[in-house]
């Protein structure tokens, strides 16, 4: 069996969520099936500038075939088109133009998929919202498996993606919340799907003392790992932490990651910048808890890593996925305002039994659902099931309407579509709590 993993960017040093997710899956599945990665030459996810050479190279034992991006993103044009389709009534042609503007536009990659359709048994597409996934799925719908990595953002309400969700052979969701969201927006309940998520490369034997010595940090530590951005809720986190710090001045907030917004000049906020994986896990092991202030997450890998190390998580309760994961795992608390932030933080820091038990639950949850054997088994089960399903009728791809149909501005603003979707965490029903039946084919 030959599997094509199609993703917008790929590299050993790329740390984007979906890209890292794709690399982990490709490298793990390469042990069981033949895997080839199809990607672009881009490294920067904003401009899609061709940084790598086109052609084939090996990364960690997996062949990677790169295709050039035909045009870089024009940020102004993309912003203008985004406003047009997110906020106003628009046409299908406007959505397609938005997709071209978003990129990474690589017709050669799509042509390769069309020409070598028979070479691959299945094509595993990552990130539904990019050019490669939409056109790639249309080129190989009979063999397409989609890992949407969807968040509750306006792009989810675009009409063009409804066909993508309906026409693939299977969907690999990251969380039950993502499944609920996509099924509500596309009505694709008949498409086979499974909630998988992804594992993580946990460094063995992290040394918290090494982190304490090198950083000189004493006392309790709350850690944040990820892009320090307003969209990730970091502005709110800074505000809450500074207010909390007046009550409990011993706590230190450690930040790891690239900064986009200015970090407040506060004696108890320490920004360590970009660190190695070993340093990251050392810091995580040395911390008392991980904080995840993001409003929108498809699957927080950092959260899973914290649980893998037995650290509790304090998450933003307005993020359905994080809130749902905390409830299902019983391994984290969540907040929706400052009072809850202060109380939950205080509870975790002061109640050692609670902190320890949450961490243990996180470890158990990670081992049960996100350890690599479990993840690999789910992917392989999906492939086996699809092999057996070939006797059934193939999914039909809806053809695009004609010129007039595409230019008729009758589609609602996508933001209003997304706002109408169900929200809130997916809670395990009492009958299925023990067996976690939300994982599996529907």
Examine residue 337 and tell whether it contacts another protein (CB under 8 A). Answer: yes
For the CB of residue 364, give the shortest distance to another protein in the complex, in Å. 10
Selected from 137, 160, 182, 333, the binder of another protein by CB under 8 A is 333
For the CB of residue 47, give the shortest distance to another protein in the complex, in Å. 21
Picking from 357, 358, 324, 307, the residue whose alpha carbon sits closest to that of residue 428 is 324
Q: Which of residues 51-90 bind another protein (CB under 8 A)?
A: 80, 83-84
Name the 3-class secondary structure at 42.
strand
Judged by CB under 8 A, the stretch of 29-37, 40-48, 284-292, 352-360 that binds another protein is 352-360
Q: Are 124 and 145 in contact (CB under 8 A)?
A: yes
For 191: left if phi > 0, alpha if psi spans -120 to 50, otherwise beta; the answer is beta
Examine residue 331 and tell whether it contacts another protein (CB under 8 A). Answer: yes
Selected from 277, 343, 389, 419, the binder of another protein by CB under 8 A is 343
| 98 class by beta-carbon count within 10 Å (0-12 exposed, 13-18 middle, 19+ buried) | buried
Q: Are 325 and 319 in contact (CB under 8 A)?
A: no
C-alpha 366: how far from its chain's center?
17
CA dihedral of 290, 295, 300, 302, whole degrees rounded to 10: -30
Selected from 43, 72, 229, 340, the binder of another protein by CB under 8 A is 340
Ordered DSSP codes for 125-178: EE-TTSHHHHHHHHHSGGGEEEE----SSGGGG-HHHHHHHHHSSEEEESSHHH
Examine residue 438 and tell whether it contacts another protein (CB under 8 A). Answer: no
Picking from 210, 189, 371, 370, the residue whose alpha carbon sits closest to that of residue 275 is 210
Tokens of 401: 């309407």
Picking from 99, 112, 121, 102, the residue whose alpha carbon sits closest to that of residue 35 is 121
Q: Are 366 and 304 in contact (CB under 8 A)?
A: yes
Q: Indicate the residue among 261 and 364 with the shorter CB distance to another protein.
A: 364
Examine residue 361 and tell whether it contacts another protein (CB under 8 A). Answer: yes
Picking from 224, 267, 251, the residue whose alpha carbon sits closest to that of residue 342 is 251
Examine residue 97 and tell whether it contacts another protein (CB under 8 A). Answer: no
Tokens of 409: 């501005």
Examine residue 353 and tell whether it contacts another protein (CB under 8 A). Answer: yes
Examine residue 240 and tell whether it contacts another protein (CB under 8 A). Answer: no
For the CB of residue 326, give the shortest distance to another protein in the complex, in Å. 6
Q: Indicate the residue among 46 and 427 with the shorter CB distance to another protein.
A: 427
Q: Indicate the residue among 309 and 313 with the shorter CB distance to another protein.
A: 313
Omega before 388 within 30 of 0, i.e. cis: no
Q: Indicate the residue among 164 and 300 with the shorter CB distance to another protein.
A: 300
Examine residue 182 and tell whether it contacts another protein (CB under 8 A). Answer: no
**Phi then psi dihedrals of residue 112, to 5 deg:** -60, -40
Report how many residues bind another protein under the rule CB under 8 A: 26
Examine residue 101 and tell whether it contacts another protein (CB under 8 A). Answer: no
For the CB of residue 13, give the shortest distance to another protein in the complex, in Å. 36
For the CB of residue 410, give the shortest distance to another protein in the complex, in Å. 15
d(CA 131, CA 407): 20
The DSSP symbol for 172 reads E
For the CB of residue 337, give the shortest distance to another protein in the complex, in Å. 6
Q: Indicate the residue among 163 and 297 with the shorter CB distance to another protein.
A: 297
Judged by CB under 8 A, the stretch of 142-150, 180-188, 191-199, 340-348 that binds another protein is 340-348
Examine residue 230 and tell whether it contacts another protein (CB under 8 A). Answer: no
The DSSP symbol for 30 reads T
Q: Are 316 and 334 in contact (CB under 8 A)?
A: yes
Examine residue 332 and tell whether it contacts another protein (CB under 8 A). Answer: yes
Selected from 46, 56, 260, 350, the binder of another protein by CB under 8 A is 350
Residues at the interface with another protein (CB under 8 A):
80, 83-84, 326-327, 330-334, 337, 339-340, 343-344, 346-347, 350-351, 353-354, 356-358, 361, 427
């Amino acid at each position: 069996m030959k599997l094509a993993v199609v993703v917008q960017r790929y590299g050993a040093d790329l740390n984007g969520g979906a890209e890292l997710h794709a690399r982990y899956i490709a490298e793990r599945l390469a042990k069981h099936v033949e895997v080839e990665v199809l990607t672009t030459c881009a490294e920067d996810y904003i401009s899609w500038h061709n940084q790598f050479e086109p052609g084939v190279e090996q990364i960690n034992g997996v062949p990677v075939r790169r295709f050039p991006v035909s045009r870089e993103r024009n940020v102004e044009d993309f912003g203008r088109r985004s406003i047009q389709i997110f906020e106003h009534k628009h046409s299908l042609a406007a959505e397609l133009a938005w997709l071209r503007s978003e990129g990474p536009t690589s017709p050669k990659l799509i042509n390769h998929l069309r020409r070598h359709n028979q070479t691959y048994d299945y094509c595993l597409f990552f990130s539904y919202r990019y050019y490669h996934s939409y056109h790639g799925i249309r080129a190989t719908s009979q063999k397409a498996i989609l890992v949407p990595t969807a968040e509750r953002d306006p792009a989810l309400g675009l009409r063009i993606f409804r066909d993508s969700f309906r026409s693939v052979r299977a969907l690999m969701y990251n969380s039950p919340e993502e499944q609920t969201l996509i099924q509500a927006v596309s009505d694709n309940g008949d498409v086979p799907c499974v909630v998988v998520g992804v594992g993580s490369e946990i460094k063995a034997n992290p040394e918290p003392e090494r982190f304490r010595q090198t950083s000189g940090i004493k006392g309790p530590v709350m850690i944040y790992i990820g892009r320090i951005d307003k969209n990730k809720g970091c502005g709110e986190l800074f505000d809450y932490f500074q207010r909390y710090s007046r009550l409990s001045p011993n706590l230190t907030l450690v930040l790891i990651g690239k900064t986009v917004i200015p970090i407040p000049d506060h004696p108890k906020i320490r920004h360590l910048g970009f660190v190695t994986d070993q340093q990251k896990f050392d810091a995580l092991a040395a911390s008392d808890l991980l904080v995840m202030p993001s409003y929108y997450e498809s699957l927080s890998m950092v959260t899973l890593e914290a649980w893998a190390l037995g650290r509790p998580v304090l998450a933003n309760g307005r993020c359905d996925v994080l809130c749902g994961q905390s409830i299902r795992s019983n391994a984290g608390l969540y907040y929706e305002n400052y009072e809850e932030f202060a109380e939950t933080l205080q509870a975790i820091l002061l109640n050692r039994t609670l902190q320890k038990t949450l961490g243990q639950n996180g470890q158990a949850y990670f081992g049960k659902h996100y350890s690599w054997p479990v993840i690999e088994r789910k992917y392989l089960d999906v492939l086996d099931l699809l092999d057996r399903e070939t006797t059934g009728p193939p999914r039909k791809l809806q053809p695009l309407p004609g010129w007039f149909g595409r230019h008729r501005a009758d589609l609602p603003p996508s933001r209003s579509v997304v706002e109408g979707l169900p929200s809130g965490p997916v809670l395990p029903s009492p009958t299925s709590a023990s067996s976690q039946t939300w994982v599996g084919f529907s």
